[in-house]
Structure 1
């Protein structure tokens, strides 16, 4: 079964499995910032240790653009909500689309000297998947320790022989939460919980994350990175975003991988220098947030706080936009207080049910002043946001219940307007390749579409 067909019926399959258990719920985040008791200054860790309160405040003050978020206050609130400190001294490279990201990842893998830890939701056996497998096998044979975590549901369409070839070469692989309960020890089988992270860590010094899986759908660039503007969607690759991190924050990625491995694998990780002494690689201050089913909703809370505290702009690019009512209310409230709230969503999607579920919220968002645009031709798969041009996030989490409740996800938050400018530039490019949704026209859409929206919204919890 090919991956596109698998992704078409996957939401229905997970819905059926999900019905076997009770529905969980997201925490109440309304007014969360008013209820928290943040420290006087956020915790900022560096390659040389933790900064004093005065130095932490000074560092964030340098990145505070007047009229927007107060980064010091925002960072302190976010730490109080998530329990995760900031990490300074990093280099952050924003990667647009599949070809640029894949090129950087393969370059990093080829340069590996000690270890490669790779975690992915989809790993297809196609031209790109085979290229990754061949490169990883080559590094393993050169003496580099290679460990892979792949999601069982995300790779349902991938032949077992594909992974077995890597195992025979000496690569250690762990299948996350196997669909077959016979493969799970004890009573920990919860098939609705998935590992949706996309993480690559090389030598404990370089890390990648974002929305890009290993699939031929990323072999071509999407519209705004193409030399010419094709009119046939078959000529266009998926639109996605990744980020490359170098510096002390890579250790946070490594710890999350080790924890995920320990919770799933029967064997321990082989010995390697997974945590080399961190060095300062740049001037970016980041927060690495990992969330897990049944956890503390770290990514959800960070999003909620940033939206609630926004002063000027909220610019979101969301592949699967099926917000819970609290998020809808927060976006509406921001628009009504004068914040420029714009959301780029798919015009075409690989999972039609999810797209229609998101459509069900357009009317009330548009009426409140939220501006929605649908990306043309390219399938949108990016999960990014930039708020007030200073708070940016790139990661694997969609703005939907599944990501926040049932998936293991990983997002990086980058503080400051330096990176924010790059994020804004990418967002504006997406807007150029999108069609705005106009409220009056939207209210005259076909009744057949409305029925699809109603049905999809009913199933929204499991999508």
Structure 2
């Protein structure tokens, strides 16, 4: 009986692995005008065109402005928004410092959504900071994922609710805690919104594994305790309202207790010059908007595509897009983990190396740190940072959240960050890769069979 069950599972996995992720029907070129919003709402067509023309004028040769933006405009529910200030945050210490500063300065409300919060030094610091604000009249609303925070004791969350914080568990694993019919999916988002004016988005969970930076030597390290490398954003400006809407939509969908209005959408003037789009994805939708827009950006690339991801298990369409870009002389570089917290994903990722390297894609593996960042930079002007990995889980089964930033100035920061990572990475050559052992190849083959669920 056990052998029969294994055979059935094996066949199902093989069949599932043959498909591609769903895409919207309209993925062709369009002349649709691109909408840009400002602090006071939608800009006129003339002003929107002027904003994009200014960005295009400062950029290198790229199809991002002519093809990609118009195409994506018809697919996304959220607009491009100008007038924002963006701060790039590298690793946990910088991210937590900025988060704590914003939390301590909160005056009205704090809305926080995270995949994982641990009952450790960092988790308890966040709990204490949120409780302190709640006791001082700031309403705190907190969402955590049931799987991602599964090892965190219930007493940890009880201390939050006892202080008056509204706490919501996403898709509870305990059937007695279900508020609706259980659905497949995890809330993998990392989102913090303070007073409707500041938003944080990226890859950093709430855990002491991020206590040290990946480029510093301030703490002793061993093979068993490598630092974690991650990237986050602090966003101030009108686009914060779009991230706020994503938080409130999740709260409502999970049937949390109705939230008392606490000025979630304050009037806000321009805070900077960055053009940003907020993108959220959910397994409820017919396709992943983040996947669709990333695929479109790669297909529109003219000069280079620098992509960093913690978990790389591409579907056939993404794999084809990366190889096609390299073959049309786009400098495609993938920065992937050299160390991992998931051996199955690690070996599945390796199973794609040969065909990518053969097509001209350059692959680097980050050394001396566990790479957990999820970023992309296309042609120096299109950037994205968020919670989304390049795997089936992120694109089909998870709730994810990303920010897309347009512009060369921010693109330069992203490029500098990528190049710094490359300096701490190992370059993979096709010749050397093909010398790996039979044992490694067998691990890759076995992991490849599970790509839809890892």
Separation of aligned partners in 1, 2:75 and 2:327 = 25
Structure 2: gaps of 5 or more residues: 1-8
SS in 1 for 2:318: helix
Separation of aligned partners in 1, 2:161 and 2:179 = 21
Counterpart position of 2:279: 289
Alignment of 1:42-81 (within 5 A): 42-64=34-56, 65-81=59-75
Separation of aligned partners in 2, 1:66 and 1:327 = 24
Q: Does 1:88 align with 2:78?
A: no
Structure 1 residue 69, shift from structure 2 partner: 3.4
What root-mean-square deviation, in Å, do the aligned CA atoms of Structure 1 and Structure 2 show? Answer: 2.1
Q: What is the number of residues matched between the two proteins?
A: 439
Counterpart position of 1:203: 195
Counterpart position of 2:301: 310
Separation of aligned partners in 1, 2:75 and 2:202 = 23
Query: Which of 30, 35, 41 is the matching residue for 1:37?
Result: 30
Specify whether residues 229 and 172 from structure 1 end up closer, same or farther in structure 2 by C-alpha distance, changes over 3 A only. closer
Specify whether residues 347 and 229 from structure 1 end up closer, same or farther in structure 2 by C-alpha distance, changes over 3 A only. farther
Separation of aligned partners in 1, 2:408 and 2:63 = 10
Q: TM-score, normalised by structure 1?
A: 0.91
Counterpart position of 1:346: 337
Q: Does 1:27 align with 2:22?
A: yes
Separation of aligned partners in 1, 2:130 and 2:115 = 17
Counterpart position of 2:129: 135
| Residues 58-109 of structure 1: CA deviation (Å, up to 9, x unaligned) | 2111112131234254221111222431111100111001000010001100
Structure 1 residue 55, shift from structure 2 partner: 1.6
Structure 1 residue 177, shift from structure 2 partner: 0.3
Are the aligned partners of 2:23 and 2:292 in contact in 1 as well (CA < 8 Å)?
A: no
Specify whether residues 121 and 38 from structure 1 end up closer, same or farther in structure 2 by C-alpha distance, changes over 3 A only. farther
Structure 1 residue 236, shift from structure 2 partner: 4.2
Are the aligned partners of 1:230 and 1:236 in contact in 2 as well (CA < 8 Å)?
A: no
Query: Which of 205, 222, 242 is the matching residue for 1:252?
Result: 242
Counterpart position of 2:316: 325
SS in 1 for 2:307: strand
Are the aligned partners of 1:25 and 1:405 in contact in 2 as well (CA < 8 Å)?
A: no
Counterpart position of 2:366: 375
Structure 1 residue 243, shift from structure 2 partner: 0.5
Counterpart position of 2:351: 360
Structure 1 residue 37, shift from structure 2 partner: 3.2
Separation of aligned partners in 2, 1:53 and 1:411 = 26
Q: Which deviates further from its counterpart, 46-55 or 238-247?
A: 46-55
Counterpart position of 1:386: 377
Are the aligned partners of 1:313 and 1:341 in contact in 2 as well (CA < 8 Å)?
A: yes
Separation of aligned partners in 1, 2:429 and 2:257 = 55
Query: Which of 204, 211, 215 is the matching residue for 2:207?
Result: 215
Specify whether residues 233 and 377 from structure 1 end up closer, same or farther in structure 2 by C-alpha distance, changes over 3 A only. farther
Counterpart position of 2:171: 177
Separation of aligned partners in 2, 1:83 and 1:36 = 18
Separation of aligned partners in 1, 2:117 and 2:31 = 41
Counterpart position of 2:107: 113
Are the aligned partners of 2:198 and 2:237 in contact in 1 as well (CA < 8 Å)?
A: yes
Are the aligned partners of 2:179 and 2:255 in contact in 1 as well (CA < 8 Å)?
A: no
Counterpart position of 1:411: 402
Q: Which deviates further from its counterpart, 138-147 or 74-83?
A: 74-83
Query: Which of 425, 448, 453 is the matching residue for 1:457?
Result: 448
Structure 1 residue 54, shift from structure 2 partner: 1.9
Q: TM-score, normalised by structure 2?
A: 0.93
Q: Does 1:278 align with 2:268?
A: yes
Are the aligned partners of 1:207 and 1:246 in contact in 2 as well (CA < 8 Å)?
A: yes
Specify whether residues 440 and 390 from structure 1 end up closer, same or farther in structure 2 by C-alpha distance, changes over 3 A only. same
Specify whether residues 231 and 122 from structure 1 end up closer, same or farther in structure 2 by C-alpha distance, changes over 3 A only. closer
Q: Does 1:420 align with 2:404?
A: no
SS in 2 for 1:426: helix
Structure 1 residue 266, shift from structure 2 partner: 3.8
Specify whether residues 400 and 280 from structure 1 end up closer, same or farther in structure 2 by C-alpha distance, changes over 3 A only. same
Counterpart position of 2:182: 189
Separation of aligned partners in 2, 1:147 and 1:137 = 11
Separation of aligned partners in 2, 1:458 and 1:235 = 30
Are the aligned partners of 1:145 and 1:270 in contact in 2 as well (CA < 8 Å)?
A: no
Q: Which deviates further from its counterpart, 101-110 or 42-51?
A: 42-51
Structure 1: gaps of 5 or more residues: 1-14
